[in-house]
A = this chain, B = another copy of it.
Amino acid sequence: MTTITSHDNAQLKEIRKLTQRRSQRERAGRFVAEGEDLLAAADAAGWEPVQRFCAAGSGLAGTEVEPKLLSQASGIASGTRAVAIYAERFTDTPLGPVCVYLHGVADPGNVGTILRGASAFGAGSVALGPQTADPYSPKAVRASMGAVFEVPLARVADGELDRLPGTTVALVADRGVPLAEVEIAGPVTLLVGSERDGLPAEVVSGAGTVARIPIANHSLNAAMAATVALYELSRMAR
């Protein structure tokens, strides 16, 4: 097996493209995960990589790459010893019994954290609405701590809210009933909006229920609100 030693190597170029641009990921239907912990999470979840790379001399599995070149290609903190390319997976039908629908959650760190919360509290899927960060972007994948390999993802376009499973509960900041008081029987989809602007009015008005997380001061970001709401739904279901 030869070690990749050139910056211009076609495979390193692919890694760079996939980490840098959403359009490249969507065109290729592929993404990159970096670091031994994430790759182990993918393995544990049964994801076979398209290709696996490792730092030359690391003794890890994969095509060997000059360590410095591997770090540069992945664009993450220096010292990454393992990188792999995976095929993106999207499910056609957002699944319950609990689904989280994201609308305008533009920060990839928040999307990744929500995936982690969704996995922790046993959500059936995360549905990605308009203006939402790519769950397969490097920041989202990292923030998910591997949950991106565990929670089914679906894409939902504007006007397709009827594809979401069960009762819809719009999470808003300043109106609605406290979430703990919502009566829920059967599947439910939480609708979560952007930190700055919340959910669009038409999404809220189309929801089955409008609910809030009661807070004393300040605000919660989208990831904190979604995590708390997922906790509350799982508590109520117990």
Contacts and interface: CB of A to CB of B under 8 A. Distances in A.
Nearest to A236: B180
Contact of A234 (B122, B150, B214, B219): B214
State the oligomeric state as a number of copies.
Answer: 2
Interface in A143-162: 145-147, 150
Given A227-B224, A235-B180, A217 B150 contact: yes
A218 B150 CA distance: 9
Interface residues of A, number: 31
A119 interface: yes
Contact of A117 (B145, B146, B224): B224
A228 interface: yes
A232 interface: yes
A238 interface: yes
A220 interface: yes
Nearest to A229: B231
A121 B228 CA distance: 12
